[in-house]
Amino acid sequence: MIEELLPAAVVAVEAHGDEAAVDGALYPEEQAVIARAVEKRRREFTAVRVCARRAMEKLGVPPQPVLPGSAAPRGGRPGWSAA
């Protein structure tokens, strides 16, 4: 739905509820980042990574872990690759 509002060169991916937070959706490196978090935070973290990978796939970026950036607080926003 949001894609209808954005320019053609912009990629958007939406997730509603827990649809993106599925078991096995994280790479081991991502699982290590969130291993000690509460369940609600794990679902949020997973949903963001699943949506990010879906968007990157639409842009032709190969699947890869989406880890927090070095300037981000622990468990914070993704650090994007240069790809």
For 47, phi then psi, to 5°, come to: -60, -40
Give the number of residues written for the chain: 83
The answer to whether 54 is a known ligand-binding residue is no
- Residues 6 or more apart in contact with residue 69 via CB below 8 angstroms: 76, 77, 78, 79, 80
The answer to whether 77 is a known ligand-binding residue is no
As a whole number of angstroms, the distance between CA 8 and CA 25 comes to 28
Residues annotated within the binding site are 41, 49
Binding site membership for CoA: which residues?
41, 49
